[in-house]
Amino acid sequence: MARRTEKKKRTIKIALVCEKCNNRNYVKSKSKTAQYTLELKKFCKFCRRHTKHKEVKLK
């Protein structure tokens, strides 16, 4: 049980936002120590096409 809580402390949740319509479509977890920002090409159900999604912090 202790391992799960240790792992959760090292990660943060982020949202992926569509560049075209600015809707938050996906939620992912990322390491706190990571120096990169995520930018993935994913499917947006609002635009109905594959677009770039950028990382944004969740509240």
**Each residue's pLDDT tens digit, 17-39:** 999 999 999 999 999 999 999 99
Average pLDDT of every residue of the chain: 89
Contact at 8 Å (CB) between 39 and 31? no
Contact at 8 Å (CB) between 58 and 27? yes
Confidence of residue 5 (pLDDT cuts 50, 70, 90): low
Residue extents of the structural domains in the chain: 2-57
- Indicate the pTM of the whole model: 0.77
CATH number, domain 2-57: 2.20.28.120
Contact at 8 Å (CB) between 23 and 53? no
Q: What is the DSSP letter of 43?
A: E
